[in-house]
Amino acid sequence: MKLTVQGKHMEIGDALREHVHDHLTDAAEKYFPNPIEATVLFSKEANHRIKADITVHLGKDIILKAHYEADAPYVAFDTATERLAKRMRRYKSRMKDHQRKIQGIPAEQEMPAVYKTLESLFDQDNHSEEDAGEPTVVAEMVTSIQEMSVSEAVMRLELADSNALMFRNSDHGDINMVYRRKDGNIGWINPKWSDQKKTG
């Protein structure tokens, strides 16, 4: 597994780098034999605590993410790694089945899309009310919307520790979305179900 360890506003020593390599490699390969790559970013936050952000690329579009903030980098990394391992353990068999399934899907069956990061129009001291129009595009990347079941979408959402995931529902091919609610539960937006209710 290719591993990159970086520091933001802090130096990364050889001992910490070796600790990350040994523990993250063991954790990933215990549940998934051939992880592709991983990135660990340590950053010193404004409150002087250390945040560890871990991203592991297990296979085609299967991304795991976890983070934790603590007073020491080792504690932050170890706790974030435990969170990753817990998710991998929970979804181990389903991840392997899901990976076999998506590896067999031709690229032309994936729906291309553009993902944009927009600047918030709120809490901007430099913006007046007259400036409030279309938000500025901060970043843009090309992605694809994949076809999967609702349970697979929920799994991908939790593995990536994301707030939302758009996908094509394998039951009917239409665009759906799952998202994390403020109460911790997962919401599911399914316009097709609404259409069926109208015509049913």
pLDDT one-digit tens code per residue, 61-88: 788 999 999 999 999 999 999 999 998 8
Which of the listed CATH numbers 3.30.505.50, 2.40.100.10, 3.50.50.60, 3.40.50.300 matches domain 107-199? Answer: 3.30.505.50
CATH topology of domain 2-103: Double Stranded RNA Binding Domain (3.30.160)
In the chain, what are the domain boundaries?
2-103, 107-199
Question: 0.75 cut: is pTM over it?
Answer: no
Q: Which residue has the tokens 């506003």?
A: 9
SS3 content of the chain, % helix, strand, coil (to 5): 35, 35, 30
Percent of the chain at pLDDT above 90? Answer: 46
How many C-beta neighbours within 10 Å does residue 99 have? 16
Structure tokens at 117: 């990061």
Residue 145 has a pLDDT of 87
pLDDT at 121 > cutoff 80: no
Confirm whether 2-103 and 107-199 share one CATH topology: no
Structure tokens at 63: 């991304």
- Average pLDDT of the chain, as a whole number: 83
What are 153-170's pLDDT values in tens digits? 999 999 998 899 999 998
